[in-house]
């Protein structure tokens, strides 16, 4: 399923994507900086304790076996053996291990050994994570210090050995700090999501406000009707980005209006110029038809010629009427007076009754309430006649055509509906039947010019009304409904 393309949805989609990417990167960088900052202060404390331990081992190494050495001011009453630390030779042979350290699962294999050695050799502390036997997380700092040889631990001590380089690893419980960092991270993510929602909502509001000129432009374009072809888009009220587009569309409308006006003028002129020659030819054909010396074949040809001339005269008259209706739809004033639509419909039914009887189609009519409107009598009658005559033409024998006139529920408009029991009009063709010279598939073999319903549409438009086609009663045939405003 393909969703319709929308400029607003595209802007919102890309804006959301950009905001999401920016906030994701910002959140990641901010969280990483928070983690680094908290670990940096924790690592500094670990390195300081490891260095302090080395200094105490150097100055108070002789008393280390008595457990009298202390870690420092941060743990003023804690014995050094209660801290998690270990002292190794530079070859990582254990020299001194505290009791808490024995629970730590740590070996040099857990770290990148080459990196560890490089940092310690350069006098730089190395940091990492380890876990104890209860799977609690510890953070450690490894430093290289010089201490006095410890008598109990260094059986091979010599009098000349005054300083012994050792690796000191000092660890501290990191789980509370990690939990605190996790909680802080969650709060940060919640705040970022809230800010993201606010910015996204503001962006959507800005995008919608920014697209309002496009909606106004679309509304103005939709309001341009054939009844008012001189309406144009409000280019001066548009932003700079849309002003050029609106002007180009207006210029296209002007070119189209000029072309249509020229076409209508030519059609009206051609129809008018055809009337005199057609009248002369019709007169000659009538005289020829009354000639007594014609044979049967010649007389049949003359009768066919007369029928074609009548058809051309009808077409010429319809074209002239369409030209007048075009001017009326464009705003040209025309004569109006109060008309009783029930009376007009009854006259149209009477005009069509002879054709209906010849086709064995029953015509009926009913009227409800006051049906007065303001309009052009000749045009209204022509529209009603065309609809009723068209219904009779396409109705099978022994069927009925029903005409109904009634006001709407609000009494502001008059409905005239003509329903038949013919083949009906397919839904896809219903908007085409009012086009000029359009003839459907069922029109083959039927007389007509293809202008009857086009005249109906133009009469309705000239009176600011509406016309539509629906299914007939019980889904059979077709029903053409004309709607006229009272004023």
Q: CB atoms < 10 A from the CB of 422, how many? A: 21
* pLDDT reported for residue 70: 39
Domain ranges, residue 245: 235-329
* pLDDT reported for residue 443: 60
* pLDDT reported for residue 314: 67
Whether residue 209 lies inside any domain: the answer is: no
Average pLDDT of span 359-379: 88
**Does 377 lie in the same domain as 324?**
no
* pLDDT reported for residue 226: 61
Q: Which residue has the higher pLDDT, 438 or 350?
A: 350
| Model confidence band, residue 73 (pLDDT cutoffs 50, 70, 90) | very low
* pLDDT reported for residue 263: 66
Q: Which long-range contacts (CB under 8 A, 24 or more apart) does 351-357 make?
A: 351/385, 351/389, 352/385, 352/388, 352/389, 352/392, 355/389, 355/392, 355/393, 356/392, 356/401
Last residue within a domain, chosen from 329, 361, 380 = 329
Q: Which residue has the higher pLDDT, 409 or 281?
A: 409
| Model confidence band, residue 81 (pLDDT cutoffs 50, 70, 90) | very low
**Does 348 lie in the same domain as 259?**
no
| Model confidence band, residue 132 (pLDDT cutoffs 50, 70, 90) | confident
pLDDT digits (tens, 9 = 90+) for 211-268: 777 778 777 777 776 656 667 778 777 777 778 888 888 888 778 777 667 666 666 6
Answer for the pair 123, 69: CB distance below 8 angstroms, yes or no: no
CATH of the domain at 130: 3.30.450
Tokens at residue 355, please?
């054709």
* pLDDT reported for residue 483: 92
Between 25-29, 445-449, 482-486, the lowest mean confidence (pLDDT) is in 445-449
**Does 372 lie in the same domain as 319?**
no
* pLDDT reported for residue 72: 38
**Does 143 lie in the same domain as 100?**
yes
Q: How far is CA 46 from CA 64, 138, 241, 303, in A?
A: 21, 11, 62, 120
* pLDDT reported for residue 117: 82
Confidence check: pLDDT of 75 > 50: no
**Does 462 lie in the same domain as 434?**
yes
363 vs 227: CA distance, rounded Å: 33
The three-class DSSP label of residue 414 is strand
**Does 375 lie in the same domain as 294?**
no
Average pLDDT of span 394-417: 89
Q: How far is CA 282 from CA 278, 302, 308, in A?
A: 6, 11, 10
Whether residue 270 lies inside any domain: the answer is: yes
| Model confidence band, residue 133 (pLDDT cutoffs 50, 70, 90) | confident
Number of domains the chain contains: 3
Confidence check: pLDDT of 378 > 80: yes
């Amino acid at each position: 399923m393909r969703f319709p393309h929308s400029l607003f949805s595209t802007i919102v989609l890309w804006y959301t994507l950009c905001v999401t990417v920016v906030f994701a990167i910002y959140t990641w960088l901010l969280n990483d900086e928070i983690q680094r900052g908290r670990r940096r202060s924790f690592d500094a404390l670990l390195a300081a304790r490891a260095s302090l331990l080395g200094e105490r081992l150097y100055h108070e190494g002789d008393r280390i076996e008595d457990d009298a050495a202390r870690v420092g001011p941060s743990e003023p009453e804690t014995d050094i053996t209660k801290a998690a630390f270990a002292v190794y030779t530079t070859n990582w042979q254990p020299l001194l291990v505290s009791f808490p350290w024995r629970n730590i699962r740590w070996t040099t294999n857990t770290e990148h050994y080459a990196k560890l050695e490089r940092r310690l050799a350069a006098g730089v502390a190395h940091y990492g994570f380890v876990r104890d036997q209860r799977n609690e997380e510890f953070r450690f700092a490894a430093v290289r210090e010089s201490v006095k040889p410890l008598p109990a631990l260094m059986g091979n001590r010599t009098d000349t050995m005054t300083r012994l380089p050792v690796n000191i690893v000092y660890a501290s419980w990191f789980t509370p700090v990690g939990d605190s960092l996790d909680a802080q991270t969650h709060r940060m993510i919640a705040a970022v999501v809230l800010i993201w929602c606010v910015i996204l909502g503001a962006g959507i509001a800005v995008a919608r406000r920014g697209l309002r000129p496009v909606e106004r432009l679309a509304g103005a374009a939709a309001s341009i009707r054939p009844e008012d072809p001189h309406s144009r888009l409000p280019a001066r009220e548009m932003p700079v980005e849309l002003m050029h587009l609106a002007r180009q569309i207006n210029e296209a409308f002007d070119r189209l209006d000029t072309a249509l006006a020229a076409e209508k003028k030519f059609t009206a002129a051609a129809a008018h110029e055809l009337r005199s020659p057609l009248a002369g030819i019709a007169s000659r054909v009538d005289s020829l038809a009354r000639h007594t010396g014609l044979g049967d074949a010649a007389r049949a040809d003359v009768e066919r010629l007369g029928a074609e001339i009548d058809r051309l005269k009808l077409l010429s008259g319809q074209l002239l009427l369409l030209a007048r209706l075009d001017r009326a739809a464009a705003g040209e004033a025309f004569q109006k007076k109060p008309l009783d639509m029930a009376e007009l419909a009854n006259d149209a039914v009477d005009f069509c009754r002879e054709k209906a009887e010849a086709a064995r189609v029953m015509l009926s009519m009913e009227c409800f309430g006051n049906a007065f409107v303001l309009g052009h009598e000749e045009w209204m009658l022509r529209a009603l006649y065309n609809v009723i005559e068209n219904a009779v033409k396409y109705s099978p024998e022994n069927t009925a055509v029903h005409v109904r006139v009634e006001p709407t529920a609000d009494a502001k408009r008059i409905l005239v509906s003509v329903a038949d029991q013919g083949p009906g009009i397919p839904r896809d063709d219903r908007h085409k039947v009012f086009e000029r010279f359009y003839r459907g598939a069922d029109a083959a073999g039927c007389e007509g010019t293809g202008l009857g319903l086009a005249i109906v549409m133009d009469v309705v438009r000239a009176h600011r009304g509406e016309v539509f086609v629906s299914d007939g009663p019980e889904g059979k045939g077709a029903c053409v409904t004309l709607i006229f405003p009272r004023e």
